[in-house]
Structure 1
């Protein structure tokens, strides 16, 4: 059997599973087709022999889907990191929004938060940004593929680092 046929049989066998896995990780329905195409490419590159594809398990397939979803989320995050001043003001979540008297102070607060987030290690920054965007730990765990315990630890440590950085920056500005 040729590789294309074997790949399509595998995709047909696990397509419902792939859709559930992608949705469980927070991917919008309109992006699932793109993820499935990415999964096809990953499987084709990793298993160029059709015999290997026929032996793949459902759990392996879900891991490939999860990896594709997480990579897509990371790419989207990277493209969103270059913020202009107007966008930076909207970055501050409502829960943390302290309404300064004018727009200049709001922009300064958003810029401080952005600088503080940039100092966090990558894993902590990802989890803290998702938390500040309103995602729960369980949702973050599903999106990243990490255990809830790892997400909880990264979140708590990241928030502590964020607070410490903001306090230190505030002390420097007061001096």
Structure 2
């Protein structure tokens, strides 16, 4: 009778716990970073599961078998990285300056406040410049603005350039400056 999946999983986790340091050191010797080492451990876990399906008694596995499995798993991770052009992994713990890709409620509040500040600053510039800048901020390019408003390209360029300059000065005077390295 074959042992149940829960029993196999617990045996695999026990084997991994006994040999985790060895498995990680094998990957580290090959230049893998923490994220890659976690992938090696997962690969070893899969290989142990497959061995159990073939009838290999996991409780009796020795260090030489695990060394061979871990080495094969580490080499497979390296091959996959090279195949996909990602042979240079960067550990995110070594890069604390990476910006977050998730949007938080604080970001929503800050975005709303910034939009209100931009709107207030826009209200203080000349109407033609304000219209050109609002359209620009809405995503229209200069040609679209010219066509929509019936202006020449030179007039649109001039009003947009001066309007953006006015907006920058007003925002700076309000204490609103660009963030460095963030969104």
TM range (shorter): 0.3 to 0.5
Structure (1 or 2) with the larger CA radius of gyration: 2
Q: Which has the higher helix share?
A: 1
TM-score (ref. length: structure 1): 0.42
Greater relative contact order (Cα < 8 A, sep 6+): 1
